[in-house]
Amino acid sequence: MRCADLTPLVYQRLFREHPEAQAMFRSQGSELVKGSMLALTIEAILDFAGTRSGHFRIIACEVASHDAYGTPRELFVAFFAVIRDTLRDLLGDEWSPHIAQAWDDLLVEIDALAGVSA
């Protein structure tokens, strides 16, 4: 097992690379929110990269939801890159050019879905 829980690693990176994101989480009870948010995001990523049976639609819904929270769309999309970078670090030498390209393609599509790309 490489990692028992991806959540702390993802959020440490998120807060290091985007310190403004930390203020968006309350101090009490935010661990459950973070874990739930990451789990839903991973489900959406897997569906978006795969069969697109429906879970990926949560990305578009969450764009609107996070707009209401005042989350910049660039920061919303950056979360996906943070997940990628965390997984790349965990996989080390097993991170292949094929995996890197698949993630690059996925992030371009998520940018477009979120309306970040012009």
Average pLDDT of the chain?
86
Q: What is the secondary structure of 23-34 as a DSSP string?
A: GGS-SSSHHHHH
The whole model's pTM is what? Answer: 0.86
For residue 36, what are the contacts with CB-CB under 8 A and spacing of at least 6?
none
Residue 49 dihedral angles phi and psi, to the nearest 5° = -80, -15
Per-residue pLDDT band for 112 (boundaries 50, 70, 90) equals confident
Instruction: Name the CA radius of gyration of the chain, rounded.
Output: 14
Q: Which runs of consecutive H residues, i.e. helices, occur in the chain? A: 6-17, 30-49, 57-69, 73-91, 97-114
Contact 45, 83 (CB under 8 A): yes
pLDDT score at 118 = 47
Q: In this predicted model, what pLDDT tens digit does every residue of 31-81 receive, in sequence order? A: 888 889 899 999 889 888 888 777 667 777 788 787 777 788 888 889 999
